C-alpha cells in the first residue's frame, strides 16, 4: 500500500513552507531516517527525514515550490513490488510528518499541522501614519522590520550590541537576527549560554558601563528567570542613584501565546512589566511600528521592554521607506475611525480588534480601533478622546484577566471620562487559566473575535 | 596587643602604612558614628556596618588604578570611602538627606558615584555579580584595559547567578576580579552550615577561573593578592577570584542580636587579628610613627567623621518634588555615539 508523504509542520507556528530541495528522486529506495528533502520555513531550513521504508514512487511537489501548505502531499512512497502507476493511495495511512531538527532548538519542537485561532491579517492601514504623506511604502514582515531596526541602529551607534541565546551563529531562534553576525561580527552579535539571569545582569552592567545592549530573550517566558535584574537592577537604578546613573537597555523577544506550546511557553507579560516605574513597555502590532518603535527603544536612555509576538513575525505590512523611521513612545495609533464604540488593543490583540470591527461594520456598528503601541507610557488621552466621542469602550488583550491592561484602562476611563460612558467598559482577555495544550482548549483559553463582537454588542445594547 | 601573628618586618614604606592606617581608621570611625546615628533615629531602615572588614577594601583599592571599577552589595559604606567618595555625601545619604550621593533617594544600600567608578550599592544578594561582569564586558568591548572589582559575600557565593557569571566571564575572558568577602556568616548562618565546600574560591575551578584565599585581616596580604589579580585581568587572561577571609564585628544589620556566635569569638578576633591594630603595630614597632603621631591621625579622622555627621544632620530632607524625579532619563540628543 502506497503512502503519501505530507508537507510537515516544522515549527509550532508554521502553516506553510518552501520545498527547497529534494534529496531523493523517483525510484530511490529509502529507509527510516534517510533525509528526503530540505524544507524552508520562515525560521530556518530543515531536513525532513523518512519515517518508513520504501521506494519513492512519485514526487508530487517540485523543488523550489513556495508556500506549500502543511499536510499537502508532496510525494508518494511505494512498498516493495508496487509501481507508481498502479499504486493505490490510502490517505488514512499517510505518512505522518515527523521532522527532525538537527539543531535541537528548544523552540523548534515537532508539531502537527497547526491552525492557530488568530485571525488572518486584516487589510487595514492606520488612519494617522507617523510618516509624511506620499512616502513610498514597501512590504515587509514584522521579522524583517525588527532585524532592519537593529541593523540600522547598530550602524548608527557603535555602543549598540545584541546578545542572547542563538542570536549569532544560529541566526536567531526565530530568525530575527538573520544576517547580523555577518555584518557586525562576533564582538557585537553575541551568543550566550542558556543563562537568562546571568546574561540579563551582564547586560545591565554593560549598560551601566556605557554600552547600549539589546538583550534578546528567546521568549519572554524565560525572562522570568531574569526579572530581578530587569526590575531591581535596570528599572530602579536611575532613581536610587538620584539621577546619576541610568540603564539604557532593550530587553526584547516574543511574548504571549504562540501555538500549542503549553502553559509555560504561552504567557503575555504586558501587564506585569507595565506595572513597574522606571520601565518603558512597548508591544507593536504592525511591521512599521515594530521597526519605528524598536529604533526608538534602542535610542532611549531607559530600560525598555519590547514585547514581540511569534505569530505576528511572519505577517506582512507596509513599512515606509525612509532612512531613519522612528515612532515615538506614548502615542497610540487609530487604525479605524468609528462612532459607536472604541475598541482598544495592542500587539496581537489588534488582529481580533480589527477583525471584529470589520464584522461589526456589516451589522451597522461603527467601531473605532485604537492600537496603544506603547503600554508605558500609555496614551490614555487618545482613549479618553475617543470614548468622549463613542461613549463606549471594549479592550482586547491576550493576557490574563486579573490586573490586566484592560482593567487599568477601565479605571482610567472611570476616573477621567465617567460622565461620557454610556455602558460599563468590557475587558476581553485571555481566560483565567494556565494555557492548555489541547487545540480546542487553547482556542477557548485565548480571546476570540467572537468575544470581542459580543462585548461590543453588549456595550452598545444591540 | 596579645599574640599578633605578624612579626616579620614587611617591605613597605612609612607613607604606605600611614595611608592604610588612615583609610581603615576612617572607615571604622565612620561606621561607629553611623551606628550611633542609627541609635539616635537619624538613620533608618537597614544599616549594615563594615567594622572588622576594613583591610579588604583598603588593600584592594591600593591595587587598583584610576578608571578601575567597583561594585558591591549593601554592606557598602567601606567600599565607598575607600574609593574616595566624600564621607559627608555618604553619611547624608544614610540620613536620607538632600546632600547624600543619591539625594536621599537611595539610602545605605544604594549609592553610586560615576566619578569614582563606584557602581553601587545593590540590595539583592548576588545581583551585583553579573552586573560587575557586565561592567567588565563594557571595558573589554570598548578596548580599555580597566578591571572591575566585584565584591560579594560568602552568603552570595551560594546564589546561582554567581556561577552563571563565572561561566560567561571565563568564556569571554572578562577583566573582572571576583572578591568573595568571607566574613564567616551570611546573616546568622555560618559558612559551615551553608555548604560542604571546603573553600569558596575553589569553585571557580569548575569554570577554569584561577583564584586564591587571602588573609583579609592583613591589608598588605590583600594588596599583594589584589595586584596579582589585577595583573592577570589586565593581561587579558580573564577573571580571577580572591576569597578574602575576614570577620565582621557587628551584627548583620542593626537589628541583629548575633545569637549565632559567642561574644568570646568576636572578642578573640578583635584582640588577635584586628587589621587596624596590625598596621598600628607595624608603624610603632617599625619606628615609622610615634604614639603622638598616630593620635594626631586619630584626631584628624574623628574630625572628618564628626563633620560628616554634622553635615548629614544639617543637610535638609530632599524637596518633596524629588519624589517624582529620576524615574526616567530624558532622551539624549540624537546623533551621538560612543
> B-chain residues within 8 Å CB-CB of A192?
168
Q: Is A196 known to be catalytic?
A: yes
pLDDT at B255: 84
Residues of chain A with pLDDT under 50: 93-94, 97-115
Q: Which three three-digit cell numbers place residue B121? A: 550599592
Comparing alpha-carbon positions, the chain A residue that sits nearest to B167 is: A193
Comparing alpha-carbon positions, the chain A residue that sits nearest to B67 is: A209
Residues of chain B with pLDDT under 50: 1-4, 7, 333-338
B140 at interface of A, judged by CB pairs closer than 8 A: no
Whether residue A338 contacts residue A366, with contact meaning beta carbons closer than 8 Å, is answered with yes
Is the peptide bond preceding residue A377 cis, with omega within 30 degrees of 0?
yes
Comparing alpha-carbon positions, the chain B residue that sits nearest to A211 is: B138
Long-range contacts of A266-269 (CB under 8 A, 24+ apart): A266/A221, A266/A435, A266/A442, A267/A220, A267/A221, A267/A399, A267/A400, A267/A435, A268/A307, A268/A347, A268/A397, A268/A398, A268/A399, A268/A400, A268/A430, A269/A220, A269/A223, A269/A305, A269/A307, A269/A399
pLDDT at A108: 44
What sign results for the dihedral spanned by CA atoms B121, B123, B129, B132? Answer: negative
| Position B28 in a domain | yes
Say what the pTM is.
0.90
Nearest to B127 among A209, A228, A278 (CB): A228
Q: Which three three-digit cell numbers place residue B35? A: 551606628
* CB-CB under 8 Å, A211 with B168: no
* CB-CB under 8 Å, B131 with A201: yes
pLDDT at A107: 45
Determine which helix (DSSP H) or strand (DSSP E) holds B165, and give its type and residue range: helix B160-171
CATH value at residue B110: 3.40.50.970
- Which B residues, 151 through 170, put their C-beta within 8 Å of a C-beta on chain A? 160-161, 164-165, 167-168
The distance between the two most distant Cα atoms of chain B, rounded to a whole number of Å, is 65
Comparing alpha-carbon positions, the chain A residue that sits nearest to B330 is: A301
pLDDT at B8: 57
* CB-CB under 8 Å, B130 with A200: yes
Give the list of residues 6+ apart from residue A408 with CB closer than 8 angstroms, or none: A271, A274, A378
| Position B244 in a domain | yes
Query: Which of A152, A190, A198, A215 to mutate: most B Cβ within 10 Å?
Result: A198
| Position B324 in a domain | no
| Position B163 in a domain | yes
Structural domains in chain A, CATH included, are: 3-93 (2.40.50.100), 137-320 (3.40.50.970), 333-459 (3.40.50.920)
What domain count does chain B have? 1
User: Which ipTM did the prediction report?
Assistant: 0.93
Name the active-site residue from A165, A265, A368, A398: A265
pLDDT at B266: 92
Neighbours of A64 (CB within 10 A): 10
* CB-CB under 8 Å, A246 with B141: no
Cβ-Cβ contacts under 8 Å between A and B: the total is 164
| Position B75 in a domain | yes
| Position B224 in a domain | yes
Q: How far apart are CA A389 and CA A366, in angstroms?
A: 12
B334 at interface of A, judged by CB pairs closer than 8 A: yes
Comparing alpha-carbon positions, the chain A residue that sits nearest to B137 is: A206
Expressed as residue numbers, the domain containing B128 is 23-308
| Position B182 in a domain | yes
A132 at interface of B, judged by CB pairs closer than 8 A: no
Q: What is the DSSP letter of A216?
A: E
pLDDT at A89: 58
Name the active-site residue from A49, A196, A216, A397: A196
Whether residue A178 contacts residue A147, with contact meaning beta carbons closer than 8 Å, is answered with yes
- Which B residues, 170 through 209, put their C-beta within 8 Å of a C-beta on chain A? 171
Q: How far apart are CA A408 and CA A398, in angstroms?
A: 15
- A54 has which bridge partners? A30
pLDDT at B232: 98
Q: Which three three-digit cell numbers place residue B178? A: 571576583
pLDDT at A85: 62
Q: How far apart are CA B163 and CA A193, in angstroms?
A: 12
Query: Which of A187, A207, A225, A242 to mutate: most B Cβ within 10 Å?
Result: A242
Whether residue B116 contacts residue B153, with contact meaning beta carbons closer than 8 Å, is answered with no
Q: Is A265 known to be catalytic?
A: yes
- Which A residues, 402 through 461, put their C-beta within 8 Å of a C-beta on chain B? none
| Position B107 in a domain | yes
Place of cell 499517510: A94
CA of B207 vs chain A CAs: smallest distance (Å): 13
* CB-CB under 8 Å, A192 with B130: no
* CB-CB under 8 Å, B142 with A211: yes
Whether residue A242 contacts residue B121, with contact meaning beta carbons closer than 8 Å, is answered with no
Amino acid at each position: 500500500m502506497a503512502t503519501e508523504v505530507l508537507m510537515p509542520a516544522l515549527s509550532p507556528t508554521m502553516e506553510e513552507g518552501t520545498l527547497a530541495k529534494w534529496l531523493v528522486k523517483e525510484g530511490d529506495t529509502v529507509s527510516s531516517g534517510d533525509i528526503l528533502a530540505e524544507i524552508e520555513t520562515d525560521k530556518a531550513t530543515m531536513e525532513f527525514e523518512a519515517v518508513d521504508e520504501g521506494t519513492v514512487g512519485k514526487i508530487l511537489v517540485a523543488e523550489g515550490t513556495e508556500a506549500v501548505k502543511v499536510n499537502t502531499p508532496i510525494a508518494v512512497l511505494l512498498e516493495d513490488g508496487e509501481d507508481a502507476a498502479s499504486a493505490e493511495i490510502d490517505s488514512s495511512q499517510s505518512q505522518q510528518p515527523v521532522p527532525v531538527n538537527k539543531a535541537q532548538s528548544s523552540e523548534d519542537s515537532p508539531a502537527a499541522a497547526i491552525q492557530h485561532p488568530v485571525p488572518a491579517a486584516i487589510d487595514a492601514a492606520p488612519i494617522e501614519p507617523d510618516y509624511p504623506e506620499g512616502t513610498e511604502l514597501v512590504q515587509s514582515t514584522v521579522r524583517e522590520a525588527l532585524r532592519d531596526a537593529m541593523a540600522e541602529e547598530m550602524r548608527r551607534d557603535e555602543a549598540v550590541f545584541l546578545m542572547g541565546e542563538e542570536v549569532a551563529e544560529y541566526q536567531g531562534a526565530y530568525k530575527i537576527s538573520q544576517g547580523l553576525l555577518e555584518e557586525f561580527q562576533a564582538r557585537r552579535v553575541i551568543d550566550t549560554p542558556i543563562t537568562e539571569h546571568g546574561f540579563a545582569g551582564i547586560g545591565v552592567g554593560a549598560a551601566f558601563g556605557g554600552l547600549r545592549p539589546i538583550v534578546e530573550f528567546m521568549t519572554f517566558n524565560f525572562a522570568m528567570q531574569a526579572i530581578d535584574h530587569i526590575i531591581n537592577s535596570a528599572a530602579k537604578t536611575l532613581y536610587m542613584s538620584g539621577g546619576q546613573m541610568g540603564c539604557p537597555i532593550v530587553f526584547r523577544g516574543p511574548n504571549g501565546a504562540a501555538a500549542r506550546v503549553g502553559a509555560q511557553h504561552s504567557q503575555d507579560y504586558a501587564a506585569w512589566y507595565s506595572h513597574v516605574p522606571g520601565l518603558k513597555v512597548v508591544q507593536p502590532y504592525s511591521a512599521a511600528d515594530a521597526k519605528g518603535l524598536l529604533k526608538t527603544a534602542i535610542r532611549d536612555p531607559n530600560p525598555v521592554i519590547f514585547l514581540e509576538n511569534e505569530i505576528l513575525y511572519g505577517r506582512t505590512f507596509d513599512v515606509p521607506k525612509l532612512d531613519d523611521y522612528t515612532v515615538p513612545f506614548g502615542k497610540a495609533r487609530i487604525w479605524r475611525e468609528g462612532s459607536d464604540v472604541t475598541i482598544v488593543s495592542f500587539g496581537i490583540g489588534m488582529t481580533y480588534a480589527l477583525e471584529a470591527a470589520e464584522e461589526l461594520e456589516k451589522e451597522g456598528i461603527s467601531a473605532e480601533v485604537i492600537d496603544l503601541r506603547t503600554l508605558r507610557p500609555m496614551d490614555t488621552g487618545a482613549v479618553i478622546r475617543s470614548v468622549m466621542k463613542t461613549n463606549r469602550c471594549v479592550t482586547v488583550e491576550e493576557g490574563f484577566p486579573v490586573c490586566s491592561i484592560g482593567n487599568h484602562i477601565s479605571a482610567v476611563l472611570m476616573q477621567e471620562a465617567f460622565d461620557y460612558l454610556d455602558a460599563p467598559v468590557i475587558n476581553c482577555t485571555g481566560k483565567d487559566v494556565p494555557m492548555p495544550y489541547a487545540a480546542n482548549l487553547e482556542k477557548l483559553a485565548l480571546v476570540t473575535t467572537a468575544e470581542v463582537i459580543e462585548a461590543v454588542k453588549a456595550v452598545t445594547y444591540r | 596587643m596579645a599574640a599578633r601573628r605578624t612579626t616579620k618586618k614587611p617591605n613597605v614604606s612609612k607613607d604606605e602604612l600611614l595611608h592604610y592606617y588612615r583609610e581603615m581608621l576612617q572607615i571604622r570611625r565612620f561606621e561607629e558614628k553611623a551606628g550611633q546615628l542609627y541609635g539616635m533615629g537619624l538613620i533608618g531602615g537597614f544599616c549594615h556596618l563594615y567594622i572588622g572588614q576594613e583591610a579588604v577594601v583598603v588593600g584592594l583599592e591600593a591595587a587598583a588604578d584610576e578608571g578601575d571599577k567597583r561594585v558591591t552589595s549593601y554592606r557598602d559604606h567601606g567600599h565607598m570611602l575607600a574609593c574616595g567618595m566624600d564621607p559627608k555625601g555618604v553619611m547624608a545619604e544614610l540620613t536620607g538627606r538632600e546632600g547624600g550621593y543619591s539625594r536621599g533617594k537611595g539610602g545605605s544600600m544604594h549609592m553610586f558615584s560615576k566619578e569614582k567608578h563606584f557602581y553601587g550599592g545593590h540590595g539583592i544578594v548576588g545581583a551585583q555579580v553579573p552586573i560587575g561582569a557586565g561592567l567588565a564586558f563594557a571595558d573589554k568591548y570598548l578596548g580599555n584595559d580597566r578591571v572591575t572589582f566585584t565584591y560579594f559575600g560568602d552568603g552570595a557565593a551560594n546564589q546561582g547567578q554567581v556561577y552563571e557569571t563565572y561561566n560567561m566571564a571565563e568564556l569571554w575572558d572578562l577583566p573582572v576580579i571576583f572578591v568573595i568577602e568571607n566574613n564567616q556568616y551570611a546573616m546568622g548562618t555560618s559558612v559551615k552550615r551553608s555548604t560542604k565546600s571546603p573553600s569558596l574560591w575553589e569553585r571557580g575551578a569548575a569554570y577554569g577561573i584561577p583564584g586564591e584565599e587571602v588573609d583579609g585581616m592583613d591589608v598588605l596580604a590583600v594588596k599583594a593578592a589584589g595586584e596579582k589579580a589585577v595583573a592577570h585581568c589586565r593581561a587579558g587572561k580573564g577573571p580571577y577570584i580572591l576569597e578574602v577571609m575576614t570577620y565582621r564585628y557587628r551584627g548583620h544589620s542593626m537589628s541583629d542580636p548575633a545569637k549565632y556566635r559567642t561574644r568570646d569569638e568576636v572578642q578573640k578576633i578583635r584582640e588577635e587579628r584586628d587589621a587596624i591594630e596590625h598596621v598600628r603595630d607595624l608603624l610603632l614597632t617599625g619606628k615609622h610613627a610615634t604614639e603622638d603621631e598616630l593620635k594626631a591621625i586619630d584626631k584628624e579622622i574623628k574630625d572628618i567623621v564628626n563633620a560628616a555627621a554634622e553635615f548629614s544632620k544639617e543637610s535638609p530632607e530632599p524637596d518633596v518634588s524629588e519624589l517624582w524625579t529620576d524615574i526616567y532619563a530624558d532622551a539624549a540628543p540624537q546623533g551621538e555615539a560612543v
